[in-house]
Structure 1
Amino acid sequence: MSRTWPALLALCMGFFVVQLDVTVVNVALEAIRRDIGGGLGGEQWVVASYTIALAAGMLTAGSLGDRYGSRRICVLGVVVFGVGSVLCSSAPTMPVLIVARAVQGVGAAALLPCSLALIIRQFPEPKDRAHALGVWGGIASIGLAAGPVAGGVLIALADWRAIFWVNVPFTVAAVVLIRRYVRESPPRRDRRLDPYGLVLGTVALSAFVAGLIEVGRYALVLGGLAVGIAFVLVERRRRDPMLPLEIFSSRPFSAATAAGLIFNFCLYGTLLCLSLHFQGPAGRSAFATGMLILPLTVAIGVGATLSGRLTARFGPRLPMLVGFSLGLLGAALLVLTPFAVVGGILLCFCSIAMPAMTSVAMSGVPARHTTLASGVLNTARQAGGALGTAVLGTLLTAGNSGMSLRLPMIVVAVAYAGAIVCTLLATASSAVNPSEEAAAAGLRGAGGRSG
């Protein structure tokens, strides 16, 4: 016991700074643009390069953790994230900052799946494990909620570079504590890597997102689709593919994964659009923007917490339908009314769907594929975040009236309607046992709050 809780603190510390960076950067985008240049496309890439690297690297990082030891890969991920933070804080130009953000994403991709695997190993007793995962997810929610306020304060007291410097002491402390208190997992040398899948998947997602951000670059979009098709063909032929396609034969898993992609598409894209709107047409400072976004991120944490209780009582379908319906209603308010904060808060209560959605996805695959399914679900969500940043950020200025929330929020409302359809498909044929789903939400929903 003397080692397990310091180990949990160490693993949570790395997750905290990864989550902090999800929301802290949105507040800093205008300050970054004023200092080192770059238009809306550059601001979108600052967010998207991080999520692309995170989405592309997560499955490979899980395989590396199995092959060489999760602690070793987790420590490497924390170090890479810290190095990326230093590079971000000293970036002289927008292209350098974008590359440095991708380095951060690579570190986060190594850290997240391995830290979860290590927590499961550190806490073999189900009760202790459930509590530890709850703490892990709760600290992540604190990081997500603290990002806007921390970003606003740091920019007001210093400048935008401080939001990256603040990561460094956390990463140093996390490395020291992980090496001291966390037990290594036994390596599995029989686990093969899939470099072809990694390269093709990364190129496909990057090209597709680039084509969406750089308006009119349809060749990039088509190129991304072509490479994506090549990725599928290669994965079908590999003996040890990064993404075994047969996992999608489960309708609950496939539909819940699609809902997860839509979830992050809407949430990441909306947070970006609102941050740019507050600092653009609304004329707010970085600090004021942080304070306006704070209740939105609090709503995300509250909704995710409520989901577990609702799932325990009613099963996963109700919280998923409620969460996505609130997201749709919030998007409609953002289209129809000037009350951006109210609409944004309502939209962010879509998080009620998150742990329940994770539970449905995980219960839809055999136990032997649990780790793989978790990686696929989180990869789909991060890919959705990258696409949401690209699509909604571009639509923000697509009209003739300058920056407007109307068009991107119409797309978000339609996307939430699609998520409701995915929910009905995912839960149509499953006889849900609320107590079993509650256990799943407790063990997996904490990780599902990673945003």
Structure 2
Amino acid sequence: MSSFAIRSILVDGVLLGARRRSPALGLAAICLGFLMITLDATIVNLALGPIVSDLGGSLAAAQWIVNGYTLAFASLLLTAGALADRVGARAGFAIGLGVFALGSAVCAVAVSLPMLIASRVLQGLGAAWLMPCSLALIGHTFPGPLERRRALAIWGGASGIGLASGPVLGGVLTSAIGWRAIFLVNVPVAAVAGLLLLRHVQETRRHRHPLDVAGQLLAIAALSLLTAGFIVAGEKGWGTGPSLALLGAGVLSAIAFAAAERIATHPMVDPALFRARTFSVSVTIGLIFNLCLYGGLFCLAVDLHETHGLNALSTGLAMLPMTLVTGAVAFLSGRAVSRFGEWPVMLAGLTAGVMAAVLVALNATYGAVWVLIASSVPLGATALVMPAMTAVVIGAAPGHRIGLASGVLNAARQTGGAFGVALLGALLAAGGDEVSLHLAFAVIAGAYATGVVLALVGRMHSTTSKPTQLQIVEV
């Protein structure tokens, strides 16, 4: 057999020939997929009005275009993370890309509001696969601490840009082309990401853990009920029957899930993960981070439109300075983490969040719009938090459970995001009929301050405790 033939054998199901895998292009594939799912979390916000005008229905019903995506995304993250460890992270990522592209295409041709909402749920299912698989692939492709930190910084930059630029891109595309363009743009991006994935990303080792069926069902029930409860509470009020029923059922399901995992022979979420203090602290910070991020972006967009009278395009452009800062800080965070470590960088990002939220609370609503825009710009510095937080979680999990560990982190983040939109959205009009950012951003400042305290605890524990098995990554 010739040397060319030997080099042309199938490796992980991909014909490489004489080509070599490029880690940089592999990372590009991972980041493209991750960019899509973070972008779609916020890109729809400014297009709801035009969608209702085109498809009919009420604006309240149209909120489920956003909520349906969040609900499916959050409720299936743990299940997708556990399944990714069984089928391989690259296969799971490819599944996610296909499902997300299909959902996007159907969204773009939707002829009714129910059809669009159902398609958004399909997008959320694809996103639930993509999120944990992206982190597992980074952990596998970049095993060294330094290169992993750099990869996570780029990955975090894609996330920060996606979340913050969603309103900007949504406003531009809706005004220039139409609302269907915000979904259709995902299809070619998913195709490019898929080609790069198959050519340049190696499959992870498959681990045939016995399926914890009871744990899977209880996790889906708990996450979906809690997320739905937060969404309904934001729409109908926290004291209404449906809100209390959903939240109560969600809490009971979460308690049952925790009890089931303690007695299961092969638990989906190993309770030993949470015995690593750095892991549990980072997951809690993740919940707080998304509560502030999703809720803050939602409140800013509503205030700019309702109070300052900006249209979709102008609202998106008003948030552009914060978006640019978010992207720049996220991409620089890798160098910062390499020089100072994860916990100091996380502390810097959370402290910036406290200061920025205080600025917005003091200067919001009744001043000139440029004052509000300038006050919101420092919020971009919170992009330091996500890559550092994610690196801590990956480092605290055993290599064969990175997919699940990232699923736990991101389930907490998505649940926090739904809670943030519901809670802070309700606080927008807490003082009367007029929208006001004062109380909402005062709560955001308090939440970020809580994150600062938790990060200090995590930093103290990481410098005083001996390494455990859970802190060793076996990729």
Q: TM-score, normalised by structure 1?
A: 0.85
Q: Are the structure 2 counterparts of residues 122 and 343 from structure 1 closer, same or farther at C-alpha, using a change threshold of 3 Å?
A: same
1:186 deviates by 4.4
Q: Which residue of 2 aligns with 1:290?
A: 316
Question: C-alpha separation between the residues in 1 aligned to 2:203 and 2:293?
Answer: 35
Q: Please list every run of 5 or more consecutive structure 2 residues that lacks an aligned counterpart in the other structure.
A: 1-18, 365-370
Q: What is the percentage of aligned positions where both structures have the same residue?
A: 44
Q: Are the structure 2 counterparts of residues 361 and 174 from structure 1 closer, same or farther at C-alpha, using a change threshold of 3 Å?
A: closer
Q: Are the structure 2 counterparts of residues 204 and 37 from structure 1 closer, same or farther at C-alpha, using a change threshold of 3 Å?
A: farther
The question of whether the paired residues in 1 share the 8 Å contact of 2:154 and 2:334 is answered with no
Mean alpha-carbon deviation: is it higher for 409-418 or for 257-266?
409-418
Counterparts in 2 of 1:110-149, with a 5 A limit?
110-122=129-141, 134-144=153-163, 146-149=165-168
Question: C-alpha separation between the residues in 2 aligned to 1:61 and 1:252?
Answer: 23
Which of 127, 150, 156 is the equivalent residue of 1:108? 127
Q: Are the structure 2 counterparts of residues 141 and 370 from structure 1 closer, same or farther at C-alpha, using a change threshold of 3 Å?
A: same
Give 2:451's aligned amino acid. A
Q: Which residue of 1 aligns with 2:453?
A: 421
Mean alpha-carbon deviation: is it higher for 371-380 or for 307-316?
307-316
Q: Are the structure 2 counterparts of residues 328 and 114 from structure 1 closer, same or farther at C-alpha, using a change threshold of 3 Å?
A: same
1:281 deviates by 2.1
Q: Which residue of 2 aligns with 1:275?
A: 301
Q: Which residue of 1 aligns with 2:97?
A: 78
Question: C-alpha separation between the residues in 1 aligned to 2:191 and 2:396?
Answer: 39
1:77 deviates by 0.9
SS in 2 for 1:192: coil
Q: Please list every run of 5 or more consecutive structure 1 residues that lacks an aligned counterpart in the other structure.
A: 444-451
Question: C-alpha separation between the residues in 1 aligned to 2:389 and 2:408?
Answer: 14
Q: Which residue of 1 aligns with 2:72?
A: 53
SS in 1 for 2:461: coil
Q: Deviations over 1:417-436 (max 9, x none)?
A: 22122112212232289xx9
The answer to whether structure 1 residue 388 and structure 2 residue 420 are counterparts is yes
Question: C-alpha separation between the residues in 1 aligned to 2:307 and 2:456?
Answer: 38
Which of 412, 425, 428 is the equivalent residue of 2:444? 412
Q: Which residue of 2 aligns with 1:196?
A: 214
1:344 deviates by 2.0
SS in 2 for 1:430: helix
Q: Which residue of 1 aligns with 2:277?
A: 251
Mean alpha-carbon deviation: is it higher for 73-82 or for 421-430?
421-430
Q: Deviations over 1:166-211 (max 9, x none)?
A: 11122233334434554444433x2223343333223223322333
Question: C-alpha separation between the residues in 2 aligned to 1:65 and 1:328?
Answer: 36
Q: Deviations over 1:395-449 (max 9, x none)?
A: 323442233223322221221122122112212232289xx9xxx9xx9xxxxxx
The question of whether the paired residues in 2 share the 8 Å contact of 1:60 and 1:194 is answered with no
The question of whether the paired residues in 1 share the 8 Å contact of 2:135 and 2:406 is answered with no
Q: Are the structure 2 counterparts of residues 401 and 13 from structure 1 closer, same or farther at C-alpha, using a change threshold of 3 Å?
A: same
1:140 deviates by 4.5
1:337 deviates by 1.2
Mean alpha-carbon deviation: is it higher for 363-372 or for 93-102?
363-372
1:256 deviates by 2.0
SS in 2 for 1:193: coil
Question: CA RMSD for the aligned pairs?
Answer: 3.1
Q: Are the structure 2 counterparts of residues 139 and 41 from structure 1 closer, same or farther at C-alpha, using a change threshold of 3 Å?
A: same
The question of whether the paired residues in 1 share the 8 Å contact of 2:138 and 2:151 is answered with yes
The question of whether the paired residues in 1 share the 8 Å contact of 2:131 and 2:407 is answered with no
Mean alpha-carbon deviation: is it higher for 33-42 or for 393-402?
33-42
Mean alpha-carbon deviation: is it higher for 6-15 or for 343-352?
6-15
Question: C-alpha separation between the residues in 2 aligned to 1:302 and 1:40?
Answer: 35
Question: C-alpha separation between the residues in 1 aligned to 2:131 and 2:427?
Answer: 31
Q: Which residue of 2 aligns with 1:448?
A: none
1:36 deviates by 4.0
Q: Which residue of 2 aligns with 1:231?
A: 257
Paired residues, what number? 435
Which of 202, 209, 213 is the equivalent residue of 2:231? 213
Q: TM-score, normalised by structure 2?
A: 0.81
Question: C-alpha separation between the residues in 2 aligned to 1:13 and 1:365?
Answer: 25
Question: C-alpha separation between the residues in 2 aligned to 1:210 and 1:64?
Answer: 24
1:32 deviates by 3.1
Which of 98, 122, 133 is the equivalent residue of 2:117? 98
Question: C-alpha separation between the residues in 2 aligned to 1:229 and 1:160?
Answer: 41
SS in 1 for 2:387: helix
Question: C-alpha separation between the residues in 2 aligned to 1:97 and 1:141?
Answer: 26
Q: Are the structure 2 counterparts of residues 132 and 219 from structure 1 closer, same or farther at C-alpha, using a change threshold of 3 Å?
A: closer
The question of whether the paired residues in 2 share the 8 Å contact of 1:213 and 1:394 is answered with no
Which of 349, 354, 367 is the equivalent residue of 2:386? 354
Q: Are the structure 2 counterparts of residues 197 and 102 from structure 1 closer, same or farther at C-alpha, using a change threshold of 3 Å?
A: farther
